[in-house]
Amino acid sequence: MKKTVTLILCAVIVLSAVLTVFAVDEEPFGIRFIKSSAYGWLFSEKERIKAAEESEKPEDTEPQETEKPAEDRPGMELSHPENRPYEVYDVFEKHDFETGGTVLRYRLYLPDGYDPDGSYPLLLFLHGAGERGDGNDVQLNEGIRDMFKDPDSPVYDSIIIAPQCPSDEQWVNVPFEQGPYSVSETPESEALKRVVALVGYIKEQYAVDSDRVYVTGISMGGYGTWDILCRHKDIFAAGMPVCGGGDPDCRDILMDVPIYAFHGQKDGVVPMTGTGKMVAALKRAKAPYFEYKYYQDGQHDIWHAVYADTEHMVWLFSQSMASRTATETAE
C-alpha cells in the first residue's frame, strides 16, 4: 500500500511539472492542478491535522486588555457616582402637595449626598399639555430626561420639582395655538397658583438657596414660564421658556429678569409669534439680561436640543438674585 501511494505521488509530480511548462497565466497550471489532485489533498489533510492539534492546546488564560470604565481612568472627574446619566424615573421621588383642599402631585429630585444644612439651587419644571394627568409619572417623559444626559450638568447638584397639571386644567388658560396673550385679561390659573404655593413649601422644607430659584417649561409649560415670571418675578432668579408664549406688555416687569427663550421656526403647534413677540418687546426695551435662540429647522419638540445642551443649563444656573440686584445698584 505504501509503495502504491509513493508511485502515485511521483506520477502526479512529473505530470504537474510538464503542465507547468505550458502555463499561460500568473499561477502555473501545474500548481493549480496540484491543488485539486491527491497531492493537494495530502497537503490539505496535513493542515487539518495541524489545526486539530492546535485546538487541543489549553486556552490562553492571559486576561485581554479592555477599555477602563470612566471611574477608573486617571484624571476623570466624577460629578456623581459612576459618572453616568441617571434614569430620572429612579431618582425623582413621588409626592403629593395639598393646598386649598386640592392635591397637586409632583416629583422631587434631591442631589446625591443631599445635606439638609447645605444650600442648593431649586429648579421648577413645567411640563407640556401631553403630560397632564394624575399618575405622577409622565411629566418626566419630555425635557427632564434631556437635562440629565450630561452627568456634568448643574442639574445633578440641584433640587428639582416637577408638578403635574391635572388633565382638565392648564398652566395658563389660553389656547395653545394663540401665541401672545394678555396677562391683565387672563386670570392666573388655579394650577399655577398651586405651583407657586408648592415652590414656597419646598423652600421651607429643604435646603434651598433663595438666591438661585429658576423656572423652565416646554410648550404649555413655556406659557407657564412666561406667566409665572410676569406674575411672580421676585421668586425667580431667571427663567428659560421653551416654545411657549407670553404677554409683550410684561416687558417692563421682566426688564431685570434674566430670560433665555427658545423656539423652533417650523413649530406647527405653538406659533413662533408666541416667543417672537416677547423677543421684539424685550429687545425694544433693551432688556440687559435677555437672550433668545431660534432653531431654523426646529419643529415643536426643540426641548430635546435645548436641554441636552449643557451650556444652556450652565447659563441658567449661573444666574442669581444677588448678582442681578448688584448690577441694578451699579447702574
Structural domains in the chain plus CATH codes = 2-21+28-55 (no CATH), 88-330 (3.40.50.1820)
Average pLDDT over residues 98-120: 95
pLDDT in tens, 284-325: 999 999 999 999 989 999 999 999 999 999 999 999 998 776
Q: Of the given ranges (48-57, 123-132, 158-167, 279-288), which has the lowest mean pLDDT? A: 48-57
pLDDT at 235 over 50: yes
Cβ atoms 239, 225 nearer than 8 A: yes
Segments in the chain forming alpha helices (H): 2-21, 29-36, 38-55, 88-91, 144-147, 190-205, 220-231, 251-254, 273-284, 303-308, 310-317, 321-330
- Residue 7 has a pLDDT of 55
- What is the reported pLDDT for 88? 87
Arithmetic mean of pLDDT, 37-60: 41
Q: pLDDT at residue 330 above 60?
A: no
**For residue 1, is pLDDT > 60?**
no
Give residue 278's pLDDT.
Answer: 95
The whole-model pTM stands at 0.74
% the chain with pLDDT above 70: 73
